[in-house]
Amino acid sequence: MAADSPVLEIHDLVKVYHMGEVEVRALKGVNLTAQRGEFVAIMGPSGSGKSTLMNIVGCLDRPTSGSYRLDGIDVSRLNRDQRAEIRNAKIGFVFQSFNLLARTRATENVELPLLYGNLGLTAVERARRARQALARVGLAGREDHYPSQLSGGQQQRVAIARALVTDPAILLADEPTGNLDSRTSEEIIGIFQELNNAGKTVILITHEPDIAAHAKRVVYVRDGVVWRDERIVQMKAKPGAVAGEPEPAVAFPFTVAPAEEPVREEVPQ
């Protein structure tokens, strides 16, 4: 796969659920392309097909029709086990409810994806990578803590470290700040920004506009199709982004105050 090929290439994606006699068309032909190093926020009201899209992007589910290439690989027709392999190698999940294993140390949680991978790492190497990933999210020194001993923000950092440890093609974050207060949310979103600045592709699913505003591009999903897709030019880089009162670097994308609006440009579909 060429380095310049899109990391995410979705074409005419359709997902139909059958609920008894009723047919629900959750996705009605989604087209979406993301380049390496992009920071895309996917927004949409509930029932928009956002979650369905996220499940398919995360290889947790298969589309009814249409194509989906992840990191150059067509993953739309893979079976259960093949999708598990793709999830392990190419996708780093961060969930709203952290989803750490209880009564399991931070390092062990972070190591978990490596246990299922094909890399054949030794225990020492796994531990080293886990520590490295934890250090990267600012949790050096808390490796042996259990989730119950960590704050929500710290737990989410462990989850981000777990997503990072396999060096995946995309970080897929599903409402990662949904369970956090606004200050901690800023910290977490700041980590994603830093990772993105370091070259990681981040896909962020959220319904909070001020969270989406931290991305470089916002894709609005509505009624099973991409309704709007716009780039945001960040007014201010936010170094650190961890501490301090969150400054409104960008305004709420839906606000109607043009003077405050960040510069946007329509992305040609």
Partner 1 sequence: MKVGLLRLWNITKVGLMAISRNKMRSLLTMLGIIIGVGCVITMVAVGTGASSSIQATINSLGTNFIMLFPGAATTGGARMFTDQSRITPEDADAIRAECPAVAYVSPGARTNAQIVAGELNWGTQVWGVGVEWPLIRAWNVADGDFFTDVDVRTSSKVCVLGSTVAQNLFPNGDAVGSTIRIKKVPFKVVGVLERKGGNMMGQDQDDQIIAPYTTVMKQLLGSPRISMIYISARSAGDVKEAQTEIDSLMRQRHRIPPGQESDINMRSQEEIASTSEQTSRTLSILLGSAAAISLLVGGIGIMNIMLVSVTERTREIGIRLAIGAKGRHVLIQFLLEAIALSVVGGAIGVALGLFAPYLVTRFAGMPTQVSTGSVAIAFGFAAAIGVFFGFYPARKASRLDPIDALRYE
* 81 lies in the site for partner 1, by CB under 8 A: yes
* 115 lies in the site for partner 1, by CB under 8 A: yes
* 78 lies in the site for partner 1, by CB under 8 A: no
Interacting residue with partner 1 among 162, 214, 217, 238 (CB under 8 A): 162
* 67 lies in the site for partner 1, by CB under 8 A: no
* 80 lies in the site for partner 1, by CB under 8 A: yes
* 267 lies in the site for partner 1, by CB under 8 A: no
CB of 214 to partner 1, least distance (A): 24
* 93 lies in the site for partner 1, by CB under 8 A: yes
* 104 lies in the site for partner 1, by CB under 8 A: yes
* 127 lies in the site for partner 1, by CB under 8 A: no
Q: Is the distance from CB of 79 to CB of 234 less than 8 angstroms?
A: no
* 208 lies in the site for partner 1, by CB under 8 A: no
Interacting residue with partner 1 among 31, 37, 85, 178 (CB under 8 A): 85
* 61 lies in the site for partner 1, by CB under 8 A: yes
Residues that bind partner 1 (CB under 8 A): 55, 58, 60-61, 80-81, 84-85, 87-89, 93, 95, 99-104, 108, 112-113, 115-120, 122, 162, 166
